Amino acid sequence: MTNKLRVGVFGPHGRMGGAVCELVSASEDFVLVVRIVEPGQSGGAELAAVDPTGLDVVVDFTAREAIAANSGWCALHHVPWVLGTTGLNTADQLAVRAAAERTLVFAASNFSIGVALLADLAARAARVLGLDADVEIVEAHHRHKRDAPSGTALTLAHAVAHARGQDLNHVRRDGRSGLCGERPRGEIGLHALRLGDVVGEHEVQFAWAAERISVRHEARDRKVFALGALRAARWLAAAKASHLHGLFGMSNLLDG
């Protein structure tokens, strides 16, 4: 194939960065142009030395501490940016939005198509059931994960809250302990498990008078996230023909 998508990967030595590099290298649709490493690291090029003109898109699963530098570089050089970093604080989120005013940004807490469908199903259930249903979200990840609840669990919680016309910040409860009293109407509970080498599990439970349903997703290999990120990269490359900038997410993939 002559028109391969030229990809740069931030953090190629990380779990996700390594998985993305492996898939790109084995693909007939992409070519790995550069591995972008932190200052002092080997096995790639530091950001200041990267030629942006040779890139169609960059994929980023680095730690949130790199957001400021990475977002600024992508915005300055108008390089489309696929971002999968979670645990972002307010300043990080503002940096992402600022970058989206100058280039194309595809940000997601989870690049699994299955999780995107899970969020869509949870939102539909929340709209139908309303505030009469109690909602609990349970997530499990490997013992090395740094943030909790997971970004995906928060995405699911936001989807449910939005569908019910709620502000998640006003109804969210992370875990329970002690004499916490009766469960308030409309509360959304989040619970995080950290176990061994679990790749990622998310479940949204709804319960109301005499009935209970749950929707659940399990990722068995982190390659599903890398595959989803490359699908997002392909989507950004196509979107570049009609968009100069903007912030996009997994709903755009579901919508086609």
pLDDT given at position 1:
43
* Separation of alpha carbons 123 and 146, rounded Å: 27
Helix (H, G, I), strand (E, B) or coil at 45: strand
Condensed to tens digits (0 to 9), the pLDDT of residues 198-225 reads: 999 999 999 999 999 999 999 999 899 9
Other C-beta atoms closer than 10 Å to the C-beta of 42 total 6
128 close to 104: Cβ distance less than 8 angstroms: no
Architecture of the domain whose range is 5-107+222-254? 3-Layer(aba) Sandwich (3.40)
Condensed to tens digits (0 to 9), the pLDDT of residues 147-199 reads: 999 999 999 999 999 999 999 999 999 999 999 999 999 999 999 999 999 99
Q: What is the mean pLDDT of residues 49-72?
A: 96
Just list the catalytic residues.
141, 145
Where in the chain do CATH 3.30.360.10 domains reside?
Answer: 113-219
* Separation of alpha carbons 21 and 37, rounded Å: 13
Where in the chain do CATH 3.40.50.720 domains reside?
Answer: 5-107+222-254
Q: What is the mean pLDDT of residues 65-81?
A: 97
Q: What is the mean pLDDT of residues 77-103?
A: 96
Burial readout 102-141 (b: 16 or more C-beta within 10 A, e: otherwise): bbbbbbbbbbbbebbebbeebbebbeebeeebbbbbbbbb
In CATH terms, the superfamily for domain 113-219 is Dihydrodipicolinate Reductase; domain 2 (3.30.360.10)
Condensed to tens digits (0 to 9), the pLDDT of residues 128-142 reads: 999 999 999 999 999
Nearest to 108 by CA among 91, 124, 88, 125: 88
The yes-or-no verdict on residue 14 having pLDDT over 80 is: yes
